[in-house]
Amino acid sequence: MILSKIFKNTLIVLTACIVLSACATKKEIASDIKGSMQGDVYTGTDTVEYLAEGVPDRVFFATNESILTTASRETLRAQAAWMRKNSSINVVLEGHADERGTREYNLALGERRANAAKDYLMTYGISSDRITVLSYGKERPVDSGSNPLSWSKNRRSVTVKAN
């Protein structure tokens, strides 16, 4: 049972990777000159905090999207490994949106983003019992700027220790 579940999940992940890599190549061509964004996904480390050494606490998203980038998946795998090592720790995944959307839709979008992160953690063996999802929509930006770079930092899912 467990094996088949893992197998199924791996399949999903693999399919997701194929789909995503197709997207990624397209976006890499239009790679952002500022260096801290790729497409419109934030790739910098300004706002990132660490749950443990080498375990960043957050992943970033493209406008209106909840797809995990290659970098996001790497971050989440590190988080999953850290959670497996620290089996007593539970987390809250806080999903956020930027200010360029209506409030109610953004609440839903934040929830969708945090769930994308949750699903990925689960495929790496983290039980859903240990994960709570909380959307803030656009209510809690980290960067108060009104420009594409600020917005990219705000489109995020942050993993926060719950205990």
Nearer to another protein, 55 or 111 (CB): 111
Residue 92 C-beta: closest distance to another protein, Å: 8
Q: Which is nearer to another protein, 81 or 134 (CB)?
A: 134
What single letter denotes the amino acid at residue 124? Y
Footprint on this chain of another protein (rule: CB under 8 A): 64, 66, 99-105, 107-109, 111-112, 115-116, 119, 133-135, 139-146, 150
Query: Nearest Cα to 37, choosing from 152, 116, 157, 155?
Result: 152
Least gap, CB of 152 to another protein (angstroms): 14
Which residue's CB is nearer to another protein, number 55 or number 135? 135
CB neighbour list of residue 42: distance below 8 Å, 6 or more residues apart: 36, 60, 149, 152, 153, 155, 156
Chain position carrying tokens 């108060």: 144
